[in-house]
Amino acid sequence: MNSVDRDVTRRVLLGRLSLLGIGTSAFQRALADEATRAHALTDVQVSNAEWISGLTLSETDRSAMIRSSESLLSELELLRSVTLDPAALSCLRFDPELGDPTIRSVAATQRPWLRQPDTATAVAPQPADLTDELLPWLPIRVLASLLRGGQVTSERLVDLAIARLKAADPKLLCVVTLLEESARTAAKQADAELRSGHDRGLLHGIPWGAKDLLAVAGSPTTWGAPQYKTRVVEQTAAVVGRLHTAGAVLVAKLTTGALAMGDQWFGGKTRNPWNTEEGSSGSSAGSAAAVSAGLLPFAIGSETLGSIVSPTRRCGVAGLRPTFGRISRAGCMPLSWSMDKLGPIARSADDLGIVLAATHGADPGDPCSVDRWFEWPRQVDLSQLRVGKVTNAKTQAPEQAALDHLKSLGANIVDIELPRAAHHDAITQMLEVEACEVFRELSNAGTTEGLNAWPLIFRKARFVSAADYLHASRLRLQLMQQLAQVFRSVDLYVGGDDLVMTNLSGHPCLSMPVIMQDQQPEPRALCCTLTAGLYDEATLLAAGSLIESRADVLKHHPSLHGHVAEK
């Protein structure tokens, strides 16, 4: 038995001993150590464990320990003999609706404070303005109008995106694979379809990028890890397929921190376009950096515990972490079955809404995905909206700016407190245990070089018992119920230092630039976050659009100041 197997055996045996209810935790640990060293327990070993823990067992309890360890070790050997692919699903399914049984009926229709816009929200500039310097910063709705009017072609937009990606990547290190040939072919097809009157929607002919944990058939899907650097899978992620159906043109696979952690991948550190001396944060590192730098109109990222919100805030760009289950994760690298979420990164709330409209919905490949109401665009009647200001967390300058804009536009600002408890962060051990199981074979093989902090996390997670995992899940449900209570008093809230709790509960979050701050080497956009009830992305985006109209930050663009990164 190798050291990894011993760790597994010890962890599972601890769970068994705990369930039997015999002895203290110190006794159970001592006994587990003895069992994993000797493959079975003897009466002497049980007595030694009793001595270590200061406990005296009856003969009956001692015999029960010996019998239990013998059968357990045999069962574990059988389980360990079965290998699984990281993509294999768990039979357990997380449901964010458990926290609020009423949410399904609420989410079936449009919220009462929302309505359809009266007029179009964008007007295309005149052809004389359509320089290569202007085009990268235009909203998706404007680009769509230009494509249909014949002022630009998808081929031009794709060629421009490819050129800009090539030029910026030496500084940003945001590209894993540039899909030049397939992108140009798709752009020609998009132009031909639009000329013939076949219109797939607002994303038809729009270039985009995919975080490189989304599978694309025939293309490397590396997960940012050196172990998968040259792997090509013959599968296409469901979200990629939906964007293809919508006519969007995939131009590049963008960087993710190794196994979706941070901004460090096998090619180096992805950089922040506002200051290339610092990383872009992660793990949707390349997606946030590429959109922030104007290399692509939008990208798809993922979040388990901050991987959309964190890099979009660092890179001063808009990002939407949708409700858990909104977008299918089929064909996406799993990290935590109960916490993984996919979402768009773009430059404006309207752009995010357009992408979500094309990608949301149930999919048989992801048993957690659901159909819930979402339509875009929508406007919000702020006189009916209750906006929370969190009083038990510090209000940062961008958050105060967002609150001030909403208040000036007529929103009702309500003081609220979010649930706080010392154990909330500890519930994320569920993520670590699930990730450990996803990458069991990689960890067992000992080939974990270049995986950031994951090797230590994998080892640590093996010491979490099944009983502890289930206890954490029960505490998680309590947190979900507490947050459901918050949304009975407000419809959304601003800020709140809620990254851990809302990733555990599955609530949607919008990160968006709202102020410019003087920093070196140049001023940069700073973001606030808005959080709404389950499946209420339309309210987030409608409110975000109003804040954008007052904040006037989108006209500012990074200059890619800083050093040239080395691969």
Query: Which residues are known to be catalytic?
Result: 211, 283, 307
**Rounded CA separation 92/74 (Å):** 25
Residue 174 CB neighbour total at 10 angstroms: 33
Terminal C-alpha separation, the chain: 40
**Closest C-alpha to 301, from 210, 431, 399:** 210
Phi and psi angles of residue 467, each rounded to the nearest 5 degrees, phi first:
-65, -40
Name residues whose C-beta falls within 8 Å of residue 85's C-beta, 6 or more positions apart in sequence. Answer: none
Q: Which of 472, 473, 468, 474 is nearest to 18 (CA)?
A: 468
**Burial classification of residue 74, based on how many CB atoms lie within 10 Å of its CB (0-12 exposed, 13-18 middle, 19 or more buried):** exposed
Q: Which residues of 29-67 are buried (b: 16+ CB within 10 A; e: fewer)?
A: bbbbbbbbeeeebeeebbeebbeebebebeeebbeebee
Question: How many angstroms separate the CA atoms of 33 and 26, rounded?
Answer: 11
Distance CA 543, CA 493 (A): 11
Q: Cβ(406)–Cβ(547) under 8 Å? A: yes
Query: What are the φ/ψ torsions at residue 203 (nearest 5 degrees)?
Result: -90, 0
Which residue has 């994993």 as its token pair? 36
Which one-letter amino acid corresponds to residue 42? T
- At a CB cut-off of 8 Å and minimum separation 6, what does 486 contact? 388, 416, 418, 419, 493
Q: How far apart are CA 162 and CA 194, in angstroms?
A: 22
The two tokens of residue 42 are: 């003897």
What does the alpha-carbon distance between residue 250 and residue 514 come to, in Å, rounded to a whole number? Answer: 29
Residues 343 and 505: their CA atoms lie apart, in Å, by 16
The H-or-E segment that residue 515 falls in is strand 509-517
For residues 195 and 155, the answer to whether their CB atoms sit within 8 Å is no
215 in helix, strand or coil?
coil
SS3 at position 165: helix
Task: For residue 439, give Cα distances in angstroms to 214, 216, 433, 461.
Answer: 17, 21, 10, 12
Q: What is the 3-state secondary structure (H, E, C) of 134-153?
A: CHHHCCHHHHHHHHHHCCCC
How far is it, in rounded angstroms, from Cα 152 to Cα 289?
25
Q: What is each CA distance from 189 to 120, 127, 200, 205, 517, in whole angstroms? A: 27, 23, 12, 9, 43
Whole-number Å distance between alpha carbons of 466 and 12: 7
Token pair belonging to 156: 């031009």
